[in-house]
Structure 1
Amino acid sequence: MDVTDKVAVVTGAAGGIGAAIAAELVRAGARVVLTDLDASAVQATAAALGDTAAAIAGDASTDADIDAAVRLAEDTFGPVDLYVANAGIGSGGGLDTHETLWDNAFDINVKAHVRAARRVVPDWLERGEGYFVSTASAAGLLTQIGNAPYSVTKHAAVGFAEWLAITYGDAGVRVSCLCPMGVDTKLLRPQGGTGDADQQLMQRAVETAGEVLTPERVAEVVLEAIADERFLILPHPEVLDMYRNKGADYDRWLRGMRRYQRTLR
């Protein structure tokens, strides 16, 4: 897809990867609606991007707020061509993670994608084209030491993106799935400290697995993948080798991950 003059919605866009993708889309000539729970931050981020960006506060996991963001895009710029389901959370830990955190992780990291697709895909099928970008994680291809809900829901996000691409790819709906390792955002490095032991373990695992990239670099890779209509977006190319090694010998990979976990602890 050439994003020039295309209309996009980006969730989780007050900062981090979402804000960087929105900025890169605007630089490439797209018109973008940014949405995020943080009303003041998302409004400020959109204002800095100029007249081809607009913002609305909302929860990316609710049907009502998804619809509101899409309607704002339609009313302000025209029919939505591209939806970037980027909002996500990293809360959680091990088996003692509260049910509420599990529910929130599934709602935001997975069901938000399902609900967004339910809203935009029917229109795309009528028009014969559209583009859905799902922000998952390398944890969705590999795993996430220190955080069970994050690992499980990111696997599910990858699975849904695959299903979407297979089911509607022949009808003009293109899908990409973003799977980075470490990115310098609040999700990796939350404000107010490093959190509990599980959070610290997760942070050490991410920071020692590979380079921690800037959100801006990730956004550049995302736009390149959209231009190529490439499904798997890997800002850390080494993830592909890790994924191949996992599939080639699962038991060996599991043993290696346990050794790695011991070194982190």
Structure 2
Amino acid sequence: MADTAVVTGAARGIGRAIAARLTREGWSVVVADLDADALGDAAAELGALAVPGDTSTDSGVRHLVDTAYGHLGHVDAFFANAGIGTLQGLEASDAQWARALDTNVMAHVRAARHLVPRWLDAGGGRLVVTASAAGLLTMLGDAPYSVSKHGAVAFAEWLSATYRHRGIVVQAICPQGVQTRMLEESGPLQGLLTRDATVTPDEVADAVWAALAGDDFLVLPHPEVRDYYAQRAAHPDAWLAGMNRLQQKLDSQHTPAKENA
């Protein structure tokens, strides 16, 4: 099993929990995040190397990968965990769309560009993408998040289909509600995201650790997501009708009641 890793979005939440689990298991870890102060605190607690920066950009990813290889000697696993939401629908601006796509999709593409050639030379490597159940289903109330997380899953699928015979393992973590700051700040969507039981970041990290023993593509901390995904594929119109009913409930909860005449 691999013993060196890079984890992005590691200052808090799922990323920090994954990095913490890896270090407890004896891995050498490099952590990255935009929040340099919080990242420094996490790195000090975990005994990891902090590399603050924007891993949604090519220069940020290149710096992270080069620094990690310089520090670790090799990178066996890269956890592309950083992600953002917008809580916007059609009103989302082009800039919001671009930022979501850069962070939730292109960051993975850029990481793969810098990692896969090295992994092919080394005989293998592992890319673990934190997508979301939204990437398998959808996310009401956040079009850029839903679309970009679908893109993250699609890219991970393509990468696996293209390189798995050459030793590249690709996995996609697809949780539903996780007790993180993103969930706390999800506003009217919080009720939807907590319809099924939420899990802690540590529980997600446990699911990830178990998945590292194999090469299954989907990592599902909420097992019910597999059934939802199968239902969506088998009965797309019925599934969309059900999602629309949920949207109507959201609409009714946030439409001001009409005053009596």
User: What TM-score, normalized by structure 1, do the two folds share?
Assistant: 0.92
Deviation at 1:33, TM superposition (A): 0.3
**Paired position in structure 2 for 1:153:** 148
Matched, 1:103 2:98: yes
User: Which of 192, 212, 226 is the matching residue for 1:205?
Assistant: 192
Instruction: Give, in whole Å, the separation in 2 of the partners of 1:28 and 1:229.
Output: 19
Matched, 1:128 2:123: yes
Q: Does 1:41 align with 2:27?
A: no
Residue in structure 1 matching 2:72, options 48, 53, 77: 77
Q: Which amino acid aligns with 1:42?
A: L
Instruction: Indicate if the aligned counterparts of 1:147 and 1:202 stay in contact, CA closer than 8 A.
Output: no
Instruction: Decide which of 237, 242, 245 is 2:223's aligned counterpart.
Output: 237
Pairwise CA RMSD: 1.1
- 1:141-174 deviation line (CA, Å, top 9, x unaligned): 0000111111000000000000000000000000
2:9 counterpart (8, 12, 15): 12
2:257 matched residue in structure 1: none
Q: Give ranges in structure 1 of 5+ residues lacking alignment.
A: 191-198
Aligned length: 251
Partner of 2:28: 31
Distance in 2 of aligned mates of 1:141 and 1:184: 20
Counterpart CA distance in 2 for 1:22 and 1:67 is 20
Tell me if the contact between 1:61 and 1:107 (Cα under 8 Å) persists in the aligned partners.
yes
Distance 2:231 2:148 in 1: 22
Letter in 2 for 1:245: Q
One-letter code aligned to 1:32 = V
8 Å CA contact 1:133–1:178 kept in 2: the answer is yes
Residue aligned with 1:131, SS: strand
Per-residue deviation at 1:78?
Answer: 1.3
Q: Give the number of the structure whose alpha-carbon radius of gyration is greater.
A: 2
Q: Please, which runs of 5 or more residues in structure 2 have no aligned partner?
A: 254-261
Structure 2 partner of 1:119: 114
SS of alignment partner, residue 228 of structure 1? coil
Judge conservation of contact 1:176–1:226 (CA < 8 Å) in 2.
no
- TM value normalised by structure 2: 0.94
Distance in 2 between residues matched to 1:200 and 1:129, nearest whole Å: 42
* Distance across 2 between alignment mates of 1:98 and 1:40: 29
